[in-house]
Structure 1
Amino acid sequence: MLKAEHRRIVFTHEGGQNLPITLDSVGYNPEQEKISRPDGYPMYHWIQTAYGEGTIFFENKSLTLAEGSGVLLLPHIPHRYEALSGDWRTYYLTFGGCSAGHILESVGIQSSSFYRWESEAPLSNMLNNMLDWQDNHQDMFGLQASTDAYRFLLTLSKYGQLHNNTAISRNIDKLQPLLKWMDLNYGDSGIGLSDLSAQLGVSGRHLNSLFMQTFGLSPYAYFVRMRVRKSKELLVSQPATTVKKISQQVGFRDVSHFVATFRKQSGTTPEQFRRLH
């Protein structure tokens, strides 16, 4: 993804006060700053990661927002969030409206919720498409914005994997030692499932269950995604290093397998990604 300028559209609601969903703002932040709201936000607030990672704190929980994940916060829920890596880019959407609560309830959203989705799901680009449309059209009464927000919530309920936040926090606490170990050893191509489960002293089956409940991925699939994420950092920070060398640095034995995996997860080849950034 290109690191574009900050984009933000604020809606005035003129003539659109009685819409089922009324948009307050939609935007893209290429350098997400640290935010703290002790009294919460007065409207529903959605934030998702476009690139990098951040940490969000709410309701005595701490969750990592990586690519393919987001949080919907109910109005007036105290929260704060900040970058976990140096470069955290986000999309956000804030909204209200006379029927917003009923619509959310109808799609199964009744509390502040954490979501994950697969890279192929349309959720990743929907807010960017909303920004593009608003940039190029005159939405005087916010009708299109309201329709797009409703479509986004329906898509979220269809493609987003809703997780129980209490269980997520508990599982992440259990997995934290392994996640830190992965972060230190992602370059070792010889690591297998048995090595991962040995770090926590649990069976491979139990570890698989923990990861599926928490991330919607198997332990090894999560490890591969971490390797691809690390390769993105190296592709940008080491422009003179070959793709083959970087694939070895992040634990891939075969460069063709690395390129295929990178393309599947990112939609571009490593070389294309490097040129874009």
Structure 2
Amino acid sequence: MKGIVYRRIVFPHEGGQHLPITLDSIGHNHQQEKVSRTDGYETYHWLQTVSGEGVIHFENNKTFSLPAGSGVLLLPYTPHRYEASAANWSTSYLTFGGSSAGSILETLGMNMNSFYRWEKEAPLSKLLREILDQYDASQDMFGLTASTDAYRFLLTLSKYGQLHNNTTISRNVDKLQPLLKWMDTHYGDPDLGLNDLADQLGVSGRYLNNLFIQTFGLSPYAYFVRLRIRKSKEMLVTQPDLTVKVISQRVGFRDVSHYVATFRKQSGTTPEQFRRLH
């Protein structure tokens, strides 16, 4: 591996659209450049330090160091930026999605932006490099092996990764859990506002806003909108007889043009294009 500066594999999903978890990309960057994503990344994103050290920043002015033997799991559309804080910051990364990725992470207790450390002997230190080597020499046309590897990585992270630097975030998620579950069943109501969300926890709108930004890097409303878009994607794929207009109404948008514009901003495609691709 010495001398290789950058490697990346992007996986096509033809034939694998309905897999519960899909591996979108995997890579290694021997000299990690500065990255800034004001709208976050469209899928789940794992980044780990191989050597050197980096630092990651969130919109709420939270900053965390990423030394060797540590990594960060980011939820889709979490605004962030990261950069080296020492010479020659070397990283490995993995991005993944799939119809059941969220529920799998929830089952593993990993459904939040989280930071992990692990012992030097743990397989996490070299697992992504091993997976990357494997795909350098093979083809996985239908994504089946890639799906298995993504799931294997998450199980390994769950087993060997130790949460760090996010005690506050963990507490916040516990506080927000009743509201998150409520939002998951009330996303179709277009009349809901910040005060309605705050009432579910018996807190002020200002407190709830700070809690969401501290935990997810997003306001409650932005989180709710992204939940609605995610639900609409499920409907687009699983209910092909529903029109885009009907789906927009079912996920809480009064105006279909507003829904299409929001969908395009978050996904880079229109709902119709997304449906054809999936």
Instruction: Say yes or no: TM over 0.5.
Output: yes
Moved over 4 A (4+): none
Check whether the contact 2:55–2:66 (CA below 8 A) recurs between aligned residues.
yes
Aligned to 2:150: 149
- When the two chains are superposed, the root-mean-square deviation of aligned CA atoms in Å is 1.5
Aligned to 2:30: 30
* Deviation at residue 24 of structure 1 after TM alignment: 1.2
Rounded Cα–Cα distance in structure 2 between residues aligned with 1:71 and 1:59: 16
* Deviation at residue 136 of structure 1 after TM alignment: 1.1
Aligned to 2:90: 89
Alignment TM-score, normalising by the size of structure 2: 0.58
Question: SS at the partner of 1:46?
Answer: strand
Aligned to 1:186: none
Rounded Cα–Cα distance in structure 1 between residues aligned with 2:165 and 2:101: 22
* Deviation at residue 23 of structure 1 after TM alignment: 1.3
Which amino acid counterpart does residue 24 of structure 1 have in structure 2? D
Aligned to 1:192: none
Question: SS at the partner of 1:12?
Answer: coil
1:108 is aligned to 2:109: yes
Which amino acid counterpart does residue 21 of structure 2 have in structure 1? I
Rounded Cα–Cα distance in structure 2 between residues aligned with 1:136 and 1:18: 25
* Deviation at residue 58 of structure 1 after TM alignment: 2.1
Tell me the alpha carbon deviations over residues 161-198 of structure 1, each in whole angstroms, 9 at most, x when there is no partner. Answer: 01352549xxxxxxxxxxxxxxxxxxxxxxxxxxxxxx
Rounded Cα–Cα distance in structure 2 between residues aligned with 1:83 and 1:166: 24
Question: SS at the partner of 2:147?
Answer: helix
Tell me the alpha carbon deviations over residues 50-100 of structure 1, each in whole angstroms, 9 at most, x when there is no partner. Answer: 110000012532111011000000000000000001210100001100010
Question: SS at the partner of 2:17?
Answer: coil
Which amino acid counterpart does residue 151 of structure 1 have in structure 2? R
Which amino acid counterpart does residue 72 of structure 1 have in structure 2? L
Counterparts of 1:112-261 in structure 2, within 5 Å, are 112-163=113-164, 165=166, 167=168
Tell me the alpha carbon deviations over residues 30-65 of structure 1, each in whole angstroms, 9 at most, x when there is no partner. Answer: 111000000000000000001100000125321110
* Deviation at residue 4 of structure 1 after TM alignment: 2.0
Alignment TM-score, normalising by the size of structure 1: 0.59
1:13 is aligned to 2:13: yes
Rounded Cα–Cα distance in structure 1 between residues aligned with 2:111 and 2:117: 17
Counterparts of 1:73-88 in structure 2, within 5 Å, are 73-88=74-89
Which amino acid counterpart does residue 136 of structure 2 have in structure 1? D
Rounded Cα–Cα distance in structure 1 between residues aligned with 2:160 and 2:2: 24
Aligned to 2:263: none
Tell me the alpha carbon deviations over residues 237-271 of structure 1, each in whole angstroms, 9 at most, x when there is no partner. Answer: xxxxxxxxxxxxxxxxxxxxxxxxxxxxxxxxxxx
* Deviation at residue 119 of structure 1 after TM alignment: 0.3
Rounded Cα–Cα distance in structure 2 between residues aligned with 1:119 and 1:65: 15
Rounded Cα–Cα distance in structure 2 between residues aligned with 1:138 and 1:37: 30
Question: SS at the partner of 2:149?
Answer: helix
Question: SS at the partner of 2:140?
Answer: coil
* Deviation at residue 3 of structure 1 after TM alignment: 4.5
Question: SS at the partner of 1:124?
Answer: helix
Q: Which runs of 5+ in 1 are unaligned?
A: 169-277
Q: Which runs of 5+ in 2 are unaligned?
A: 170-278
Aligned to 2:173: none
Aligned to 1:263: none
Rounded Cα–Cα distance in structure 2 between residues aligned with 1:164 and 1:28: 24
Rounded Cα–Cα distance in structure 1 between residues aligned with 2:97 and 2:59: 21
Aligned to 1:260: none
Rounded Cα–Cα distance in structure 1 between residues aligned with 2:141 and 2:12: 9
Question: SS at the partner of 1:95?
Answer: strand
Which amino acid counterpart does residue 105 of structure 2 have in structure 1? L
Rounded Cα–Cα distance in structure 2 between residues aligned with 1:35 and 1:107: 28
Rounded Cα–Cα distance in structure 1 between residues aligned with 2:59 and 2:73: 13
Aligned residues: 168
Rounded Cα–Cα distance in structure 1 between residues aligned with 2:58 and 2:116: 14
Question: SS at the partner of 1:33?
Answer: coil
Which one is further off, 32-41 or 51-60? 51-60
